[in-house]
Each structure stands twice: as C-alpha cells, then as structure tokens.
A and B are shown apart, each in its own frame.
Chain A
Amino acid sequence: MSSDQTAGTGTAPERHVGRAYQLVGPLASLAVGGLLLLLTQYVKEPDIATGLSPRWWPGILGAIICLLSIGVAVKDQISDGKSGDELTTPTRLGMIRVAAVIAAAFGYGVLWYFLDFRVATFGLVAGLSYIIGGRGWRALLLFPFLVSLVLYALFVLLLKVPL
C-alpha cells in the first residue's frame, strides 16, 4: 500500500503474518469440518427409502473441509511463511473497542427487552459513540437522539415494523 493510501484510510500499516498465526485459520476450519462430520451422524434417517441419505451431502462437505484445511495448513507451513497474506496491524485500542462494541450490541438486545425501543436505541447509540471515540454533547446526546428518531420514523412509522 502506498503511503498516500495508508494516510488516506487512516489504518495501521500492513504486516506479513507469522507461521503460528497462519495455522490458526486452517485449524479453525478443520474444527468446523470435524464438527460437521460429527453432527452428520445425528441426522435422522428418513422413513422412505432414498438412494442418497440426507447425511450424504453434509458428510461429503465435512470431509472436503477437513481435507482442504489440512492442505492449506501444510502449504502454509512449507512455503517459508510467505502466504502472501498481509494484514493491517490491530491496535490495542482497536481490540478493546471491538470487544466493547460486541458486548454493547448483545447488551442492547437485553435492554430492548425491558425498555422502549427509542430509549434502548438512544442508549446504544450513545454507548457506541462513546466507545468509538465520540465525546461532547453533540456526539453523546444530539447524535443518539437524531439516530433514534430517524430509526423510529423509518421503521415504525414508514415501514410499520413492530419494534
């Protein structure tokens, strides 16, 4: 990425990933493939006779995912760590923000259950704005108020969605 582009997007510089990091993805997909193979065994066989069981397709896919995962893991490990993957470096603040945003999103679901949509949404927008770096009355009061209002007008009044 050119320096101009880095400045433009405001993201962290790119880095090449290490061997251990490269292994995480294929291992995760291997786990997904394995889980799929395991869960396939619990699919109930139908009462009618069929040439191919409902277990057949997910079973094939599970096996393909496992084989491909092993292949990718081996390829990454024998290719001198040069997978070609370049990732922007996460910042510590970024990781905290992501965790806080996910927590706030799940918290919103709980809050919405107990409070009116407009109040809960105001709280979520103010919370997210604060987490992402908004400060001052405009970011924490005016902006959440306007967003809640627009959402209410759009979904409840215009689209008649029972929020």
Chain B
Amino acid sequence: MNALAEGLGQIADPTVLLCILIGALAGMLVGTFPGLTATMAVALASAFTLSMDPIPGLAVLLTIYVAANFGDRVPAILINTPGTPASICTTFDGYPMAKKGLAGVALTVSAFASAIGTFLGLILLVVAAIPISRLALEFGPAETFALVVFGLTMMVGVSGGKIGKGLIAGAVGLALASVGRDPITGTERFTFGVLELSDGIPFIAVIIGLFGIADILDQMLSYRAEKHTPISNFGRWWPNRSEMKRMVKPLGIGTGIGAVVGAMPAAGGDIAGIMSWAAAKKASKHPEEFGKGSIEGLTAGDTASNAGIGPSVATTLALGIPGDSVMAVVLGSLIVWGIQPGPALFTSQPDLVWSIAGILAVATVLTLGLSLLRLRGVTKLLELKPHYLWTVIIVFCMVGTFAVNNSVIDVVVMLIFGVVGLFMRRHGFPAGPVVLGLILGKLAEGNLRRALEIGGPENILGSPIAVTILLISLAAVTLPPVIDRLRARRAVRRAASTSSNPTDQPLEQKETTIS
C-alpha cells in the first residue's frame, strides 16, 4: 500500500473522526471567546493528547488549530473584538458590516474565505513540503544550526518591534534547553540533583504555563466588568451574486500573501491577514470602502490568515522549525511521541504527512459546516461570565499538566512559568521565542558544537547555505526597526498631507492596536 492510501486510511478510523469532531467543537469554542488563543488551546489540549496515539492526538490538536481560526471571526464581527490575533483584520470590515445589518453575510463570507484559504494553503503543503524537505536533506550541522537561528530570529523579528527583548527571550529559551544532559558528552547541567530534570525542563508544562496560565492571569489583572452587547440583528445570510464576484480577487491576494507569510518560520496569521487587507485595498476599485464594511477587505484578511496554515505545517514538518507558535506546541507533542519533524520524516514516515494533510482537510470541511450553522446561540456564549471560563482553564491547565507525566514537579514548573509569563507580558518580553528556544535548544547546541568541532568556524562560514540563512536571520532582526522608523515617518508625512481624508484612518488605528 502506498503512503498516500495508508496515510489517508488512518484518518478513516472512527476514533480519529471523533477526535476531529471534538477538536472542531473545542476550537470553535476557543476561537469564539476573546482572550483565548489557538496556541493556548492547543497547549492545553496537548496535555490530554499525549496519552493518545499520534494520529488521534494530532487530529485533536490540528483541528483545534483550524477551528479556532474559524470561530475567532464570530466575536470579531459581532463585538469588534478578535477572538484570536489571527482575526484582527476581520474586525476592520466585519464589524462595520455587522453594524450595517449585514452580520449574517459577514459571517458567511468570512467562513467561506477562511475555508478556501485553508484549502489552497493545504495544496501548497502537499506540493511544497517534499521539495523543501529534499533540499533540507542536504543540510549538515552548520546548516541545521543556521536554520534554528533563522527560526528564532524570525519569531523575534515579528514580535511587535521588541527585537532586543525578543532576543533575550530566545536566549533564555535556549538556556532553559541546556538544563539536563549535555547533548555531546551527557554531562548533567543545572539539575541540582532533581531526577526529573535529567531529561530537561518539561516543555509541555512550560508551554501551558507561558501561554495558558500567564494569559489568564494577565486578563484577570486588568479586567473591569463592562457590559458589551453583541450585535443580534444578523440580516440576510448569503452574499448576492455581485458580492460573490467581488470576493474573487481578494481570495487570490489573500492566498498568495498567506502562503508566503505562513511558510516563514514563526510568522502567524495575524500578520498575513493585515498585509493582505492592505494589499487588497491597494488593488481594489473601491479602496474607500475598506474599513467601513468592505466585503473585499473581509475576504482578503480572512483568506490570508487561514492560507498560512498549510505552509506553516509544511515548514514545521519539512524543516523541523515551527511555522508559528501553535506549530511550536504541536512540534513539542510530536517530539514527545517520538516523531522528529524534519527532512527525514518524509522518507521515514511519508504516510504521517498524508495523514496530517487529510486531518486538516476534514477539519476544514467540518468546521466550515459548523460555521454555516445559524450562529444566534453564539451571542449568548459571548455574554458568558469570566469566572466560569477562567476557572475552567486554570483547573484544566493544572490537572492536564499533571496528567502528562503524572508528575507534581510538572505542575510546579507550569505554575512557576505562569508567573514568569505574566512578568514577561507586563514587561514587554514575548513568550514565543522562549518556547521556540526551549524546543530547538538541544538541536542548536548539538549542531553548533558538532560543526565547530569538525572544522572550526570555517565549517559554518564556508557553507553558502548556512551563510545565506544566517544573513537572512541578521536581516530579520535588523531590518524591522529600520522599516518601522521609515513607516512612522511616512505616516507622519501622510497624516500632515491627508488629514482631511478619513479613508486611511481605520488601518492606522488598527495598526497601533496591534503593535
């Protein structure tokens, strides 16, 4: 039996299909609640799924990832609050549409744009992953080390202009990975006689602490009870023919941008969505409608933020470098299951790659179906009081973390990193690079030391691939501040010259919010 048939055959198992359904419901729910991110949900779910086989476990994790990217459009459209960062761009035009009495159309257009984006991204996963992995098979220690540096610097580069703090966070993550046995000699480092630390810091506990507990504590810290009323007048549900026609061009723009951004290690759907929204505005015959309820703007943003999922998975599987923070968590789970993503995966377990593509496809179809159900009941969910939500998450984080290894140490580690994560958030340190550093640390150290011991620094500097990757990495951390400065100057100039033109205002405002 070939890999394709074997891989797809595995997801026909009723248990796997049930896992996809559970993941879809959980992901939609997570996306719907503002403040809960897909990363947090996948981190929390990974505590449960580690006791399962890889395929059902992946079915839950990947479906949550897909479904959260559908569910998060609901609060973005109905209460102008993105359910996850990936739906920031949905608020630009989705909420104005809802205010005009077109909430039903906005929800339907958003669901289709998300589904089409995900599918087109999936095609890219299938087409691009194998060539990327073939190229990566040529990589030796020097190139692999350069690739890890690339992944880390990309995550730092997109961490909202906090390059210095992002680099510190990445270095701390790498340092945390050095706890346990040295990858070359096996010497114990920083274990202080604690047996559980010999295998390193439990990264699932760290991830749940940094993304789950810290998120909730941060929300709790600044929460003020304020009544927000979701829009309840949904209007008609289906776009008319002319509206459908206007969706075509932004679908293309969104797919292109989403695919490129998604394939970049560590860049997420939020960035792709905003870039695509801006590009679609430039290409539109009606740019003045953008930010005021444009169906093109809504389509472009939602397509791009979902089109990145496939390429992001491709990068993770082919290179072993996570495409975004959700995939960093999935990568952690794969390693615990004994599956090492990277170029060798395509020769050792090609069926797994097809299973993953199949899971994503089924999850997209199922989630699209769930999204098209009339969502009047969702408005009730948006009014759920936080004490229910926060309590459930904290308790699930604790019990789930314990369940990974039946270890109290893991729970203590998770709580400590919850507090550390809160401190980091309040002081502008991004958590993503810590997790990435922790997951990739052993790979980075082992390959760097091997490269240096084999041929000294010349081993790295003599490799054109390694040097190119390192130069791109350098650009990833040095160019964003320069670009930001230029953009700020341009914005000041534009504000001075077009202060009377209100069309540009929404994007400027939203960009400020995102940064």
Contact = CB atoms under 8 A, between A and B. Distances in A.
B139 interface: no
B406 A58 contact: no
Contacts of B80: 2, 4-5, 8
B168 A68 contact: yes
Contacts of B175: 32, 36, 58, 61-62, 65
Contacts of B187: 43-46, 54
A11 B513 CA distance: 14
Given A87-B426, A132-B386, A97 B189 contact: no
A143 B415 CA distance: 23
B165 A72 contact: yes
A25 B222 contact: no
Contact of A84 (B35, B220, B515): B515
What are the nearest 5 A-B pairs in CB distance?
A25-B427, A8-B81, A88-B222, A132-B387, A54-B182
15 contacts: A5-B81, A5-B91, A9-B81, A11-B222, A28-B427, A50-B453, A98-B217, A101-B394, A105-B398, A128-B387, A132-B386, A133-B387, A134-B391, A147-B395, A159-B48
A128 B399 CA distance: 14
B163 to A, nearest CB: 9
A111 B172 CA distance: 33
Interface in B445-489: 445, 448-449, 452-453
A85 to B, nearest CB: 4
Interface stretch (B109-117, B223-231, B334-342): B223-231
B133 to A, nearest CB: 28
A77 B162 CA distance: 15
Interface string B59-82: 000000000000000010001110
Contacts, number: 206
Given A25-B165, A52-B449, A98-B422, A10 B224 contact: yes
Interface residues of A, number: 78
Interface string A112-144: 000000000100110011001110000100010
Given A48-B185, A68-B167, A108-B398, A29 B223 contact: no
A61 B379 CA distance: 49
Contact of A83 (B217, B392, B428, B509): B428
A159 B188 CA distance: 33
B222 A54 contact: no
Contacts of B513: 1-2, 5
B391 A147 contact: yes
A7 to B, nearest CB: 5
Given A51-B453, A72-B164, A94 B223 contact: yes
Interface in A143-157: 143, 147, 151, 154-155
- Name the interface size band of chain B: 35 or more
A54 B185 contact: yes
Interface of B: 34-35, 48, 51-52, 75, 79-81, 91, 95, 161-162, 164-165, 167-168, 171-172, 174-175, 178, 182, 184-190, 217, 219-226, 228, 385-388, 390-392, 394-396, 398-399, 402-403, 406, 408, 411-412, 415, 418-419, 422-424, 426-429, 445, 448-449, 452-453, 509, 512-513, 515
Nearest to B78: A8
A45 B418 CA distance: 33
A40 to B, nearest CB: 8
A43 B221 contact: no
Contacts of B424: 25
Contacts of B182: 46, 54
A159 B52 CA distance: 8
B285 to A, nearest CB: 27
Interface in A1-31: 1-2, 4-5, 7-12, 17, 21, 24-26, 28-29
Nearest to B514: A1
B387 to A, nearest CB: 4
Contacts of A162: 406
Contacts of B426: 87, 90
B171 A109 contact: no
A78 interface: no
A54 B189 CA distance: 8
A62 B172 CA distance: 8
B35 A25 contact: no
Contact of B220 (A26, A85, A98, A147): A98
A163 B453 CA distance: 47
Contacts of A43: 187, 189-190
Contacts of A75: 164
A57 B449 contact: yes
Given A54-B185, A64-B171, 7 more contacts: A4-B80, A7-B228, A46-B182, A75-B164, A88-B222, A102-B419, A128-B387
Contacts of A129: 387-388, 391
Contacts of A98: 217, 220-221, 422
Of the listed residues A97, A98, A125, the one surrounded by the most CB atoms of chain B closer than 10 A to its CB is A98
Interface string A52-81: 101011100110110011011001000000
B143 to A, nearest CB: 19
